[in-house]
């Protein structure tokens, strides 16, 4: 309480005296400037008179001015070059410099003010250390050949008196406060400041990451309460951060466990597949004796289904890896999309032809290489073409095109896989990139697959900072478009986009689709 009382008393004292002091000072300065300009005009006029009538008139005028203004302690008329032409002081002595023998003003700030030809004022100390107001105002000879400024010095006495007055008022308040508080105000103020500084340092230490930092203050006042609140906040924060760290660690372990489980599952699944595939191929090749036609057909069916099983397992493993974002950016190398597309189409062509689906590949001749992971990019093409083949029936066709295409001012390559298959219903378009999504629950039986292919494609395109979108009309076909930037941008801001279109008007309209991709 005592502290509060004392601080208030001091504050009241300061509040009462400081503005008054400032007001006085401002008034004096403003007054001094106005006054100086009047004096200047008079002196300038007198200087002109002097030229025509002689020294005594100027002499008298300056003397009158000095007498009228007790605050004016010195007056100088200075040429813009710095020569002091005329000097008058409080004693009434007037000195006029003879031509060519003038003293010079050496102070650079005064010179600057003189040459600025504006009325300016400032506080200076004279050679005896006395505080003065210096006011500089221009005074131009009537015929304007030589330009002078008037430099007037006003005493600071009144200001000093006001200051003393303020100090006395504050001092008396302080004395009362001291008496009431029985404590040294300076010491108290110091201790408050010191405690607040300790608090500030504590906050700083926490910001630097020293979460165990606490501030101990025993001042039995609000600062101590503040410190206690600060410490409580720091405790809560440290607890929360600790919990978050633990959760993060648990999640990391869980993620690793999941990856390990999937790796083990894949090992467990693939080992029996190894023996199955190996023996089936040996059988098919006739290495284990000639097969009857019936047996050869059976072996062929076994091999085909084994291949499917293997692909599904591989999909599952790869997706779990993408999910972990491990190796997603992969080794970056130059990827020639044309070569990859050729390879993929070549691989899939036999099964497509067997099914009665026609497939064409149109590559632009000027396809630039993109930067990426060729294994992953190949996977994209395999999955898109695999899907196209899967959902296109006999007599249908698949058209694969690749051409240079800029997108958002970024150069890149656009690859499109267009099929004349069953198409995708509007309501399913939004979900086909979701994992395990199947357009029709019976799809799995009818077309095979686990609904991971497009999710994987999307992950890969995301990792390559590319884009993927699909246009489709149910019953007529689908066009999947993937776009690869020539160089994956570092910023990555909005670089990846996923667009789905159902508008039938844009279907099979090369021009409009072109605009759409700009």
Contact 429, 422 (CB under 8 A): no
DSSP state string for 275-342:
HHHHHHHHHHTTTTSPPPHHHHHHHHHHHHHHHHHHHHHHHHHHHHHHHTTTTSS---EEE-HHHHHH
Q: Which of 189, 273, 311, 345 binds other proteins (CB under 8 A)?
A: 273
Q: Which of 116, 285, 393, 489 binds other proteins (CB under 8 A)?
A: 285
Q: Which of 22, 67, 93, 282 binds other proteins (CB under 8 A)?
A: 282
Q: Which of 54, 171, 204, 272 binds other proteins (CB under 8 A)?
A: 272
Q: Which of 95, 271, 305, 512 binds other proteins (CB under 8 A)?
A: 271
Q: Does 329 bind other proteins (CB under 8 A)?
A: no
Q: In the sheet that 412-419 helps form, which strands lie side by side, from edge to edge?
A: 358-363, 397-404, 412-419, 477-485, 467-473, 497-501
Q: Which of 306, 367, 428, 450 binds other proteins (CB under 8 A)?
A: 306
Residues in a beta bridge with 334: 371
Q: For the CB of residue 326, give the shortest distance to other proteins in the complex, in Å.
A: 8
Q: Does 263 bind other proteins (CB under 8 A)?
A: yes
Which CB, 321 or 397, lies closer to other proteins? 321
Give exposure, 113-146, as e/b (b: 16+ Cβ within 10 Å): bbbeeebbbeeeeeeeeeebbbbbbbbeeeeeee
User: Length of the chain in residues, anyone?
Assistant: 518
Q: Does 252 bind other proteins (CB under 8 A)?
A: no
Nearest CA to 32 out of 191, 156, 180 is that of 156
Nearest CA to 364 out of 403, 325, 391, 397 is that of 403
Residues in a beta bridge with 287: none
Report the site for other proteins in 143-182 (rule: CB under 8 A): none
Q: For the CB of residue 316, give the shortest distance to other proteins in the complex, in Å.
A: 11
Distance CA(44)–CA(39), nearest Å, equals 8
Stretch touching other proteins by CB under 8 A, among 184-192, 217-225, 282-290, 335-343: 282-290
Q: Does 276 bind other proteins (CB under 8 A)?
A: yes
Q: Which of 270, 355, 500, 508 binds other proteins (CB under 8 A)?
A: 270
Q: Does 300 bind other proteins (CB under 8 A)?
A: no
Report the site for other proteins in 430-469 (rule: CB under 8 A): none
Q: Which helix (H) or strand (E) holds 510?
A: helix 510-516
Q: Which of 55, 267, 304, 325 binds other proteins (CB under 8 A)?
A: 267
Q: Does 281 bind other proteins (CB under 8 A)?
A: yes
Residue 320 sits at the vertex; the CA angle it makes with 448 and 378, to the nearest 5 degrees, is 65
Q: Does 371 bind other proteins (CB under 8 A)?
A: no
Q: Which of 59, 255, 310, 403 binds other proteins (CB under 8 A)?
A: 310
Q: For the CB of residue 276, give the shortest distance to other proteins in the complex, in Å.
A: 7
Q: Does 266 bind other proteins (CB under 8 A)?
A: yes
What three-state secondary structure class fits 44?
Answer: helix
Residues that bind other proteins (CB under 8 A): 263, 266-267, 270-279, 281-282, 285, 287-288, 306, 310, 314, 317, 321, 327, 330-331, 375
């Amino acid at each position: 309480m005592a502290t509060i009382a004392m601080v208030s008393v001091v504050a009241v004292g300061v509040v009462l005296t400081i503005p008054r002091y400032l007001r006085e000072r401002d008034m004096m300065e403003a007054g001094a400037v106005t006054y100086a300009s009047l004096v200047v005009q008079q002196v300038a006029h007198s200087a002109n008179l002097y030229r025509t009538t002689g020294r005594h008139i100027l002499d008298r005028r300056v003397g009158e001015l000095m007498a009228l203004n007790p605050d004016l302690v010195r007056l100088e008329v200075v040429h813009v070059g710095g020569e002091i032409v005329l000097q008058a002081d409080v004693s009434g002595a007037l000195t006029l410099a003879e031509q060519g023998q003038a003293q010079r003003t050496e102070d650079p700030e005064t010179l600057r003010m003189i040459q600025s030809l504006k009325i300016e004022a400032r506080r200076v100390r004279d050679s005896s250390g006395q505080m003065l107001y210096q006011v500089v105002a221009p005074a131009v000879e009537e015929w304007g050949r030589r330009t002078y400024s008037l430099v007037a010095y006003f005493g600071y006495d009144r200001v000093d008196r006001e200051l003393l007055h303020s100090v006395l008022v504050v001092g008396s308040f302080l004395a009362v406060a001291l008496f009431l508080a029985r404590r040294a105000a300076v010491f108290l103020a110091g201790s408050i400041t010191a405690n607040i500084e300790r608090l500030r340092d504590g906050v700083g230490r926490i910001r630097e990451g020293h979460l165990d930092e606490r501030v101990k203050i025993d001042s039995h006042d609000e600062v101590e309460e503040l410190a206690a609140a600060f410490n409580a906040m720091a405790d809560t924060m440290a607890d929360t951060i600790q919990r978050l760290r633990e959760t993060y660690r648990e999640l990391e372990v869980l993620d690793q466990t999941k990856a390990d489980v999937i790796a083990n599952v894949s090992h467990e699944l693939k080992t029996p597949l190894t023996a199955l595939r190996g023996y089936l191929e040996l059988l098919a090749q006739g290495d284990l004796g000639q097969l009857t036609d019936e047996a050869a057909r059976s072996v062929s069916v076994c091999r085909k289904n084994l291949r499917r099983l293997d692909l599904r397992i591989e999909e599952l493993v790869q997706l779990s890896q993408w999910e972990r974002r491990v190796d997603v950016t992969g080794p970056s190398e130059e990827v020639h999309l044309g070569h990859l597309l050729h390879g993929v189409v070549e691989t899939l062509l036999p099964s497509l032809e067997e099914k009665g689906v026609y497939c064409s590949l149109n590559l632009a001749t000027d396809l630039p290489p993109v930067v990426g992971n060729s294994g992953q990019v190949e996977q994209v093409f395999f999955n898109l073409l695999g899907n196209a083949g899967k959902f296109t029936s006999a007599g249908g066709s698949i058209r694969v095109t690749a051409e240079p295409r800029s997108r958002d001012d970024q150069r890149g390559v656009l690859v499109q896989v267009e099929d004349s298959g069953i198409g995708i219903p509007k309501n399913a378009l939004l979900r086909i990139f979701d994992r395990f999504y199947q357009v029709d629950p019976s799809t799995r039986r009818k077309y095979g697959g686990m609904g991971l292919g497009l999710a994987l494609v999307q992950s890969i395109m995301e990792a390559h900072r590319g884009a993927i979108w699909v246009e489709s009309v149910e019953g007529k076909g689908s066009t999947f478009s993937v776009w690869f930037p020539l160089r994956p941008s570092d910023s990555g801001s909005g670089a990846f986009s996923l667009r789905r279109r159902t508008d039938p008007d844009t279907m099979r309209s090369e021009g409009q689709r072109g605009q759409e991709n700009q």
